[in-house]
Amino acid sequence: MDAWQPNFSWITELLAVGGSYPSDCAELLAHEHRIQAVIDLRGEAVPDTQLFRRHGITLLHLPTTDMRPVEMPDLEHGIRFANEFLDKGQRVLIHCEYGIGRSATLALCLLVHRGQAPLDALALMKKQRPIVAPSPPQFACWSAWLDSHRFSSEVDWELPTFEDFKALAYVRPKR
């Protein structure tokens, strides 16, 4: 077997976003990349919790259909789960099948929850993983979460419009 090339990008020192990987790479995730927690948003696959546990990785599966929004309770659960690890300086991987929409949606919420302004979070995501491009329904989900979050937290940002989002999210990566 050829050496596996990770299909994820480090958004911050502790947070990675990406696509799927062969299940036999759990050991590499744990030991080479020092990932302690994985959030899997694929609705089309059921991850092997025991395999991850054997390698010291805690797994959270939040099944979401491709191109569809992540359910609000799942966003909140994912944010709480990720923060448990990030707050201890531990690495977290959020992934879906391709690392473009579902994983990006949750990661955007997480970055904002941790203090970034929404469009700054999106700009960082695009810089670190240029293929990130949540679908319009995923934008609507993010926007609804942002709207809820700004009323429960003190923030100094405005809710981004779809036009603002589109100007960043749907720019093709330069070759």
Nearest to 107 by CA among 4, 17, 46, 168: 17
- Classify the C-alpha dihedral 105-111-116-120 as positive or negative: negative
Place of tokens 């590499």: 28
How far apart CA 76 and CA 69 sit, in angstroms, is: 13
DSSP state of 23: G
Instruction: Quote the crossing angle between the two packed helices 136-152 and 162-169, to the nearest 10°.
Output: 120
pLDDT recorded at residue 173: 67
pLDDT recorded at residue 1: 41
pTM over 0.85: yes
Beta bridge partners of 164: none
pLDDT recorded at residue 154: 87
The pLDDT averaged over each successive group of 10 residues in the chain (175 residues) is: 76 97 87 96 91 94 96 98 99 97 98 98 98 97 97 92 96 74
pLDDT recorded at residue 4: 64
How does pLDDT run across 13-50, given as a tens digit for each residue?
999 999 998 888 888 999 999 999 999 999 999 888 89
DSSP state of 2: P
pLDDT recorded at residue 99: 96
Architecture of domain 10-168: Alpha-Beta Complex (3.90)
Strand blocks (E) in the chain = 8-10, 15-18, 35-42, 58-64, 91-95
